[in-house]
Amino acid sequence: MYEELKQMLQESRRTLAFTGAGISTLSGIRDFRGKNGVYLEPWHGKSVEEILSLDCFLAEPALFYGWAAEFLYRLEEFHPAAVHRALAGLEQSGLLRGVYTQNIDLLHQQAGSRHVYELHGSPARHHCLKCRKQFGYAEIAPLVLAGKVPRCGCGGLVKPDIVFYGENLDEALLNQAFADMEKAELVLVLGSSLTVQPAASLPMAANYGGGKIVIVNAQPTPLDRYAALRYDDLQSVFEELENWLEHR
C-alpha cells in the first residue's frame, strides 16, 4: 500500500513535514476546526477565538487559564500516535529533514523528533510579562489545574509562549520556514485544513520552488489541486509507513 508515497520519500533528498491539529486527534486531543472542533463550543459566553486573543488574555487571564486547564495543561495524558512515531522514524532514517507544526501539544518531541519548529509557539515555555522571567510547563501546569492564574514573584502576569490572536508569528522562524519550504523537494502536509495564515501558505512555497506536495487530511484543503498525492486517512497511511520503516 501507498507504494508511490514510499518511492517519493526514498527519492527526495529534502523532505519536510507540515502538521496541524488533525494529527493530534489520533492521540485523543480534540481538533480545533473539525466537525466536533473545540472552536464550535463557546466558553462562559465567549468564543474560543476570543478567549485565545491577546486582548482577552490581558483583560481576563482567569478566563483563558480556566479554559486552558481543560484543553492545554493536561498534555501528559496524551501520547504520540502513528503519525508522530512515523515522522520521528523518517527523521531517524534520514528521510525527513524536520517538522514545521501548528500544534502546541509537544507530541512530536515526545515521539522522538529532534527537528521540530513550532510555528504557533509552545506551552513548554512561559514568561512574566513584567520582568520577562522564564518558567517551564511543569512549574505552571499545577497552578492552572488548581484554578489559579500564574503570577511571577514580581507580581507580573505569566503568559504561555504560544501565539495568541492579535500576535504575530515569530518573524525569524517564519522566514526560515519559507526558505526551507522553497528548497524542499517534498512536503508532507498532514492534518491541516490550511486555513490559518500565514502558516497555511508555507506548503505553496515548496510548489513555487518546484517541490512536490503530498496532503493527508480528512477534510478538503485549498491546496488539494496542487497535491501530487492526496489521501484522507492519516491513521492508515502512517501505520503503513511505520510498519515499512520497521522492515526496510
User: Per DSSP, what are the bridge partners of residue 53?
Assistant: 165
Question: Of 84, 108, 120, 126, which residue is the catalytic one?
Answer: 120
Residue with cell 495524558: 77
User: Is there a binding annotation on residue 56?
Assistant: no
DSSP, res 165: B
Grouping H, G, I as helix, E, B as strand and the rest as coil, residue 59 is helix
Burial 43-81 (b: 16+ CB within 10 A, else e): beebebeebbbeebbeebbebbbbbbbeebbebeeeebb
SS3 215: strand
| Grid cell locating 194 | 490550511
154 belongs to an annotated ligand binding site = yes
**Residue type for 13, please?**
R
H helices then E strands: how many in the chain? Answer: 11, 9
Active site residue 120: yes
Annotated catalytic sites, by residue? 120
- Annotated binding-site residue numbers for Zn(2+): 128, 131, 152, 154
- Annotated binding-site residue numbers: 128, 131, 152, 154
